Structure 1
Amino acid sequence: MKGIVKKAKAHLDSILDKDPRSDHPPAKQQQVHQQQSHMSQDGPNTISEPTCRDIFRYRYHHGTNLGSIFVLERWLHPSQFPDGASGSSELAAVQAWVNEIGLEETRKRVEERWANAMSDEDIRWLVNDAKVTTIRLPIGFYSLGPAFIENTPFAPYSHVYANSWQHICNLVRRLHEASIGTLIDLHALPGGANAEEHSGTNSGTAHFWAYSENRLLGIRCAEFIAQQVTGGLDGITGIQIVNEAVWESDRMYEWYDNCVSAISAIDPSIPVIISDGWNLGKAVEYSLQKNSVISSRPISPVIIDTHYYWAFSDKHKAMSPQDIVADVNTKLSELDGKEGSVIDRGAVQIIVGEYSCVLTEDSWAKRGDTPKEALVNQFGQAQSQKWQQRSGGSFFWTLKMDWLPGGEWGFYAQVQNRSIIPPKVSTIGTGDIGPIATKAYEGWESRMRAATDGHCAYWDQVAPGGSFEHWRYEYGWKIGFHDALAFFQGKPGVSGGNKIGNVEIWALKRLRESGFRGGFVWEFEQGLRKGIQDFHSIAGI
């Protein structure tokens, strides 16, 4: 049996070593599929083995926000504000501490907080109990160091942030060693992308969009992070260039274009995460346009960050907890009809960057006789299920606060009470990964033949006598199955038990790498998707 599995593994792995086009010349007639274009010559095939970096970036991101560590919010960490602080933001805290104890002592104080933000025990809990794959790490533009602080309200306090980026890098490396990725979130941009305290100040304005110097500094920040990633900072799953942009911000999409171009010029493999600006439908259309298969130059995949809360609007105050639990299933409908065929439409991928289990007292008062704890469980589990079905990842708000375990705002609390449920793949024991992989190797060829035969039979019935290139479907199936298996098994440097969760942008990546052109590329994409699905079916994930 071991010999059979070894042979099957070698056969499946060999698909990466040979360009399939050498055995399959293009079809001469292309008149069947409605999306066919006239034939253009295929480009070079650069598909290769999924890397550790690929797995970190494209698996399903089950995670949490670290919270108010590098971007202070007083409601989460009141202990980090001296009694004399007049505001609730990062700037208010640093101003008050400098006034009270001076620049040097303030620097020492905040560096101690940064260094101890995550203990080794915290990280072990994230891995073993919460099954976290990724942390969303909110930082500020000032977190990148003094060179980014000049001519901003933080300038008098640049000394305080002299070593802040190094503390961030140290945390990213520690998480990476535990197979946890980090989504760097530029939560606080110069001038504020929104008017809230989590933009770094209490100005009450969103001046980032109105002033070109702020927008240019924002691009510099993104470029710096991209350069750090290409320079060896492993474990970064993407760069979120803005958090919670205000509705219909002037020049927002123009700035997105400029920022994506700047990051792509450094490393087009780095995913770029944008805010939906509270208009997810518009962001979906932008994403489809940016994530086209054919582009004039290499370009980073664009992912949309959207947030869901049911604790702030009058509409939600008027709803009962039971109504809100039911409302969860209506979310992400903007994706309907937009997924499943990147070659036709472009790719759209969404992450839920923030959500919680918090409802208002008005809502809780409408719960009837159902215990609150039971409804919190239902609410959290409904969200877990929905985000895992329709998004590429989700990040609870939040992990850290003074008042742990945090109630309905606390990731610790909601994991412990089983409101937040990890994906099924995360619960597969280390000892079960090998036997499942063996089962996949044993059965991959019969699965492939069934899928390919079914594909061919369908098109023979729909378009009898038509000309196709079904070998592209078979090749796509092999790549998809192989990729899903590689994610599941893991590699030295990243643990196993992973699922390709960002399927749309993974399909985009493989389509670009295939070099395929012309009217039958859709067969490769559909085969790729079917191969991924078939492995997930074998693994039960």
Structure 2
Amino acid sequence: MKGLLKKAKAEFDKLTDSDSQSHQQPQPQLPPRPSGKPSYSPGQQQTHYRGMDQDQPSTIREPSALDILRYRYHHGTNLGSVYVLERWLFPSRFPDGASGSSELAAVTAWVERIGVEATKAKFEEAWSNAVTDEDIQWLTNEAKCTTIRLPIGYFDLPGTEFTRSTPFEPFAQVYAAAWASIRTLISRLRAHSIGVLLDLHALPGGANAQEHSGTNSGTAGFWNSQGNRDLGIRCCEFIAVEASSGLDIVGIQTVNEAEWESERMYEWYDDCIAAISAIDPSIPVIVSDAWNLPKAVDYCMKKNIAYPSRPTCPVLIDTHYYWAFTDADKRKTPQQIIQEASKKLTELDGKEGSVLDRGAVQALVGEYSCVLTEDSWSKAGDTPRADLVRQFGNAQSRRYQLRAGGAFFWTWKMDWMPGGEWGFKAQASSGAIMPSVNATIPERDIYNLLERARHRRDERMYAAVDQHVSYWDHTAPNMPAEHWRYENGWKVGYQDAYVFFEGRGTQAVGQGNKIGNMEMWVLKRVRESGMRGGFVWEWEQGLRRGIRDFEGVVGI
């Protein structure tokens, strides 16, 4: 019977998906902007008893401005080599004759040449000038950027405790103001409704052997050192305390590009998640897939269960896509790579759609670019390179918007702006990297579409509930049901999507936000619903249908 029920539920989901898609791209109405807003009434909570499965009080509230910042689709870029230096991006930040290409190489060379205080002043000036007010206006108005992934290092956190017994200990004073600079940047971006995902790009010892781990050691010494692992957790705890005290961030990324099969990596993830959850379980935590996305998917689905034994942060996956480094990619034509890019993230297939049954999984593409090897470009044929670059960027933009919770181009800032095929400025300006459709709707039409959604709400709700009840009356006429849960969930989902689209409580009113991290949002709402028992799946499916119905009405 359980297998039959699951099969029937799956068929019903396909049916409702098809129905929702049939209502895409409506013509906007032209009434005046609504003076009122729809009330937020998710329906009267009912008490259901099934053994010990008693419903709990609902804690659902309207999506907050911070919820919108965290759970909308993240169209953005990495800030790049500002707080964690890489010489190839910012050679000007290194003195002539510096022997390495990492942050440690730069600070060591400058201190040797001009002393600690002068180096401190030089670094602080670079941080303060990295992002201008004009830059933020461009991100907002031209690139339609919602989120920045901000790489930082453990040495950027305040106080000597974070650099003690590390290679950066002699230079702690240089970084004394780094965290204040980071906070200021977050606040400036937040004032324009641009969120920041804080990425612990450089961990002590290095989570990988590359220069972007902070040194040129050539080793990934983080994983086999208990002291380094403990310090990494303290870094996460510090950021969590800051976030819980009013620093509005999208989430905490615990590590960047962890080495493949790193020693006890998932145990360390468990420790980080537990530590952050103990401080504030609402903060999204992002973990590296260590170049093994299927394994990370399985891990996250186990972490993101509907009913954890204690409040637990939502956990998302950071995965990166490049086609510029391997011999296998060198043998491919640009056209072949464009086709590949349009089919990424199939590891998520069959894993989404029911957090109650499977847990939740959501991936972010933390880094990607429009760069291919010259070997690939030599196989391009007669098609102009600029056309293929645009096709490549378009294919990635479309695919990530369809299958990921967000994507961050590598990278935005470098000495050689606008950056060519590595540059977000260059590729966003050329149209290769595209924002999602909802971000390009004119502000005047947002209000018209909201009014349309208000008028269509009851019609869509009755149709959805009738379809749900009719389907189950026909498929399983003698099966117990609690269809009131479906209606309740639908109301919550429709109103959630409405509030996101409106941008309520944010500086982004009129930007047309969409719930992009759907699986994480559904997980959050299921946990907050307080519902228990054998029929909560009806509530979850109603929630999903309500969101889809709103999106169908406004055409996103």
User: Which bin holds the TM-score, normalised by the shorter protein?
Assistant: over 0.9
Q: CA deviation at 1:448?
A: 0.4
Aligned partners of 2:64 and 2:505 also within 8 Å: no
CA–CA distance in structure 1, aligned partners of residues 34 and 177 of structure 2 = 51
Aligned partners of 2:487 and 2:539 also within 8 Å: yes
1:161 corresponds in structure 2 to 175
1:32 corresponds in structure 2 to none
Deviation readout 1:149-182 (Å, 9 max, x if unpaired)? 1110000011100110000000000000011000
Aligned partners of 2:33 and 2:448 also within 8 Å: no
1:540 corresponds in structure 2 to 555
1:505 corresponds in structure 2 to 520
1:323 corresponds in structure 2 to 336
2:362 corresponds in structure 1 to 349
Aligned partners of 1:4 and 1:442 also within 8 Å: no
Q: CA deviation at 1:26?
A: 3.8
Alignment of 1:389-468 (within 5 A): 389-468=402-481
Q: CA deviation at 1:5?
A: 6.8
Aligned partners of 1:5 and 1:442 also within 8 Å: no
1:56 to 69, 72, 86: 69
CA–CA distance in structure 2, aligned partners of residues 104 and 431 of structure 1 = 52
CA–CA distance in structure 2, aligned partners of residues 239 and 465 of structure 1 = 48
CA–CA distance in structure 1, aligned partners of residues 142 and 35 of structure 2 = 34
Q: CA deviation at 1:27?
A: 8.3
SS at match of 1:20: coil
CA–CA distance in structure 2, aligned partners of residues 65 and 252 of structure 1 = 24
1:77 corresponds in structure 2 to 90
Q: CA deviation at 1:40?
A: 1.1
CA–CA distance in structure 2, aligned partners of residues 47 and 231 of structure 1 = 22
CA–CA distance in structure 2, aligned partners of residues 435 and 3 of structure 1 = 7
Task: State the Cα RMSD in Å.
Answer: 1.5
CA–CA distance in structure 2, aligned partners of residues 464 and 338 of structure 1 = 29
Q: CA deviation at 1:3?
A: 12
CA–CA distance in structure 1, aligned partners of residues 31 and 310 of structure 2 = 46
CA–CA distance in structure 1, aligned partners of residues 110 and 554 of structure 2 = 54
2:313 corresponds in structure 1 to 300
Residue 383 of structure 2 corresponds to residue 370 of structure 1: yes
1:519 corresponds in structure 2 to 534
Alignment of 1:257-268 (within 5 A): 257-268=270-281
After TM superposition, the runs of 4+ consecutive aligned structure 1 residues lying more than 6 A away are 1-7
1:35 corresponds in structure 2 to none
1:13 to 40, 44, 59: 40
SS at match of 2:286: strand
SS at match of 1:14: coil
TM-score, with length taken from structure 1: 0.95
Deviation readout 1:59-86 (Å, 9 max, x if unpaired)? 0000000000000000000011111210
Aligned partners of 1:19 and 1:45 also within 8 Å: no
CA–CA distance in structure 1, aligned partners of residues 513 and 455 of structure 2 = 20
Q: CA deviation at 1:278?
A: 0.4
Residue 140 of structure 2 corresponds to residue 113 of structure 1: no
Residue 225 of structure 2 corresponds to residue 211 of structure 1: yes
Alignment of 1:80-229 (within 5 A): 80-145=93-158, 146-229=160-243
1:359 corresponds in structure 2 to 372
CA–CA distance in structure 2, aligned partners of residues 341 and 59 of structure 1 = 19
Q: CA deviation at 1:39?
A: 6.4
Aligned partners of 1:39 and 1:519 also within 8 Å: no
**Residue type of the alignment partner of 1:523:** E
In the alignment of these two chains, the number of paired residues is 524
CA–CA distance in structure 2, aligned partners of residues 379 and 72 of structure 1 = 28
Aligned partners of 2:31 and 2:451 also within 8 Å: no
**Residue type of the alignment partner of 1:108:** A
SS at match of 2:414: coil
Aligned partners of 1:477 and 1:528 also within 8 Å: yes
Deviation readout 1:470-528 (Å, 9 max, x if unpaired)? 11001100000000000010123331310000000000000000011111010011000
Q: Which deviates the most, 311-320 or 458-467?
A: 458-467
TM-score, with length taken from structure 2: 0.92
- Say if 1:140 and 1:5 are closer, same or farther in 2 by CA, change over 3 A: closer
CA–CA distance in structure 2, aligned partners of residues 462 and 370 of structure 1 = 54
2:17 corresponds in structure 1 to none
Residue 302 of structure 2 corresponds to residue 289 of structure 1: yes
Residue 367 of structure 2 corresponds to residue 340 of structure 1: no
CA–CA distance in structure 1, aligned partners of residues 274 and 315 of structure 2 = 11
> Percent of pairs identical after alignment?
61
**Residue type of the alignment partner of 2:393:** G
CA–CA distance in structure 2, aligned partners of residues 512 and 319 of structure 1 = 46
Q: CA deviation at 1:370?
A: 0.5
Gaps of 5+ in 1: 29-37
Aligned partners of 1:27 and 1:469 also within 8 Å: no
SS at match of 2:367: strand
1:387 corresponds in structure 2 to 400
CA–CA distance in structure 2, aligned partners of residues 91 and 539 of structure 1 = 51
Aligned partners of 1:26 and 1:469 also within 8 Å: no
CA–CA distance in structure 1, aligned partners of residues 396 and 176 of structure 2 = 40
Gaps of 5+ in 2: 1-29
